[in-house]
């Protein structure tokens, strides 16, 4: 795993004790029960979500609702005393098969329980392509949204995959995007920034 994120040459502190992330709820058409797993890195600077059923598609073999899939993770983050955290960046990975004229979008937003949601960050992919894809959301240190010190609030992550047939021939072809893999090795990694509470 990567080390502590650095901003402007300053390394932000990493808490000495382990953080523990519990999944409170997982909801959405892209993450049916039991298909999303969360793991925390040993150095407390990142956590990884692995999906096994996150697939959006259009064309042959797809249902009308398959063009858009979403997943909301509601996480309980247990933070060591005296620290708070924010999401500094997120790396999304998957596979896309998009016919000529088709397109796909991955988007996400992040917010703490009781706060209004952040704006969505979107990444568009255009066909033709038949390859792995990766997208990164990065937050400038001045714009980081920190968890309130001394309070335990659930952290919510909303993600979405959307595929559009566009000008492709959906009567004879299929276009799709996944945020998963047959062997479960495609991961979404969230990098944490830390600061000490006053």
192 is a domain residue: yes
Residue 21 per-residue DSSP state: E
**Residue positions counted in the chain:** 198
113 is a domain residue: yes
Domains in the chain, number: 1
Which of residues 2 and 81 earns the better pLDDT score? 81
Residue 38 per-residue DSSP state: E
Domain that holds residue 186: 20-196
In this predicted structure, what is the pLDDT of residue 151?
A: 82
80 is a domain residue: yes
9 is a domain residue: no
Q: Which residues make beta-bridge pairs with 51?
A: 36
151 is a domain residue: yes
15 is a domain residue: no
In this predicted structure, what is the pLDDT of residue 102?
A: 98
**pTM, two decimal places:** 0.82
Q: What is the rounded average pLDDT of the residues 103-127?
A: 87
| pLDDT at 73 > cutoff 70 | yes
Mean pLDDT of the chain, nearest integer: 84
In this predicted structure, what is the pLDDT of residue 181?
A: 37
In this predicted structure, what is the pLDDT of residue 92?
A: 92
Q: pLDDT of 167-182, one tens digit each?
A: 999 999 999 999 963 3
| pLDDT at 119 > cutoff 90 | no
53 is a domain residue: yes
Place of tokens 């993600």: 159
Which of residues 112 and 15 earns the better pLDDT score? 112
The domain spanning residue 142 has which CATH number?
A: 2.60.120
Strand segments, DSSP code E, in the chain are: 6-7, 10-11, 20-27, 36-40, 46-51, 55-59, 68-78, 83-98, 103-112, 121-126, 129-138, 155-164, 174-178, 187-196
Q: pLDDT of 8-56, one tens digit each?
A: 334 566 777 777 788 888 899 999 988 888 888 888 788 888 899 999 9
Burial per residue of 83-117, b for 16 or more beta-carbon CB atoms within 10 angstroms, e otherwise: bbbbbbbbbbbbbbbbbebbbbbbbbbbbbeeeee
| pLDDT at 1 > cutoff 60 | no
4 is a domain residue: no
Q: pLDDT of 126-138, one tens digit each?
A: 999 999 999 998 8
| pLDDT at 5 > cutoff 90 | no
């Amino acid at each position: 795993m990567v080390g502590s994120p650095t901003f402007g040459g300053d390394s932000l502190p990493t808490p000495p004790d382990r953080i523990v992330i519990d999944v409170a709820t997982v909801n959405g058409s892209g993450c049916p029960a039991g298909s999303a797993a969360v793991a925390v890195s040993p150095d407390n600077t990142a956590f990884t979500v692995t999906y096994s059923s996150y697939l959006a598609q259009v064309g042959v073999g797809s249902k009308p609702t398959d063009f858009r899939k979403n997943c909301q993770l509601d996480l309980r983050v247990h933070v060591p005393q005296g620290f708070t955290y924010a999401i500094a960046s997120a790396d999304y990975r998957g596979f896309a098969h998009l016919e000529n004229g088709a397109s796909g979008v991955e988007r996400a937003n992040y917010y703490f329980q009781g706060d209004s949601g952040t704006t969505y960050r979107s990444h568009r992919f255009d066909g033709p392509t038949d390859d792995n894809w990766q997208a990164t959301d990065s937050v400038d240190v001045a714009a980081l949204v920190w968890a309130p010190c001394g309070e335990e609030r659930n952290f919510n992550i909303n993600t979405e995959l959307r595929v559009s047939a566009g000008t492709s021939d959906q009567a004879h072809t299929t276009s799709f995007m996944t945020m998963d893999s047959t062997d479960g090795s495609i991961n979404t990694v969230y990098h944490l920034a830390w600061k000490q509470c006053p």
